[in-house]
Amino acid sequence: MATEDAVLEALATVNDPEIHRPITELGMVKSVDIDPDGVVAVTVYLTVSGCPMRETITRNVTDAVARVEGVSRVDVTLDVMSDEQRKDLAASLRGGTAEREVPFAKPGSLTRVYAVASGKGGVGKSSVTVNLAAAMAADGLKVGVVDADIYGHSVPRMLGVDGRPTQVENMIMPPSSHGVKVISIGMFTPGNAPVVWRGPMLHRALQQFLADVFWGDLDVLLLDLPPGTGDIAISVAQLVPNAEILVVTTPQQAAAEVAERAGSIAVQTHQKIVGVVENMSGMPCPHCDEMVDVFGSGGGAKVAEGLTKTVGAEVPVLGAIPIDVRLREGGDEGKPVVLSDPDSPAGKALRTIAGKLSGRQRGLSGMSLGITPRNKF
């Protein structure tokens, strides 16, 4: 006959799909009853009544308990936490820290924060962000993405996120896709409605994304910034002063000049520039495989050289990404090319850049960030 200890041990292997911790640890197991015929009745607390993951929790609990020796059938009943239980859960997840505190700005934070910036729109900054995030997650790191481009949010589509955040008290549980946790203003707006906000509202939204979202123990957080050096770029410097700037440009000289201007904000905000990524660096001819410089050449090197002189420290070119139709298709379909076609020219280039940022590869002007993953491989 199955024992309660054996059933609880099995339930400890079931993680809440949003919080990513065992349901036993989160106090979500209300009761376990076992009858002489081996029928196990498990009652599980949901954080909220409209929990979008109720079916997933039911299925995972059923599968885990059914594997226990002596169990003939599993009956799962769902209940809802009381207000007091939700408050206790939120306090436990925060680890006793105050609300509205940005965990990534604390001195002891082990999370590497990259603010992905560009001088102008249309250079593929969001495509670079989501593919770097997906590549790092596939490499075993715990990764999150903040879609900080409030007016031009596009990250949920590019990562294939169709879920909506769940709120537990004043804490927001972000949905995830391809192993990447994501938050975006697009998850809170109806349809394709525009966001018409002034500066203070943008700052509050970014603060909420950073402080009120339960990110857990991330290895890397990427912020997809809007183009230019406006309100959001300034707010990032205030809220996460340790964020490092990653500049994205195209080879075109006009784009490079604007990108250099965007990166130069680091002088005023006292932030580090981790490097430059040149996107749309060339297109392989479909007939002869010769590279065609559709947008010119040398833009990435120009930006890196200019920023090196401006900040007084070496700013490397982390990589050049060729024009690849699969990169665009992956963005439209919510399947990053680093996962759907990792050996494509764009996929290889992006995975190489992700490896440099995560410390997986060495030899880039001696740079070794050495991010140690929190989870086991």
Please name the residue that has the structure tokens 């992956």. Answer: 330
Annotated binding site, which residues? 119-126
Residue ranges of alpha helices (H) inside 171-220 are 199-211
208: helix, strand or coil: helix
167 DSSP β-pair partners: 172
Strand ranges, E, within the chain: 29-34, 39-46, 73-80, 112-117, 143-147, 166-168, 171-173, 176-177, 180-184, 220-224, 244-249, 273-279, 283-284, 291-292, 317-321
Strand ranges, E, within 16-89: 29-34, 39-46, 73-80
Q: How many residues does the chain have?
A: 377
What does residue 227 show for φ and ψ, rounded to 5 degrees? -65, 150
Q: How many CB atoms lie within 10 A of CB 55?
A: 10
What is the number of H-type helices and E-type strands within the chain? 13, 15
111: helix, strand or coil: coil
- d(C-alpha 17, C-alpha 52), whole Å: 10
Annotated binding site for ATP, which residues? 119-126
- d(C-alpha 30, C-alpha 8), whole Å: 11
Q: Which of 39, 42, 23, 137 is nearest to 89 (CA)?
A: 23
176: helix, strand or coil: strand
Through-space distance between the first and last CA atoms of the chain, rounded to whole angstroms? 35
Residues whose CB falls within 8 Å of the CB of residue 348, separated by 6 or more in sequence, listed in order = 342
- d(C-alpha 79, C-alpha 104), whole Å: 34
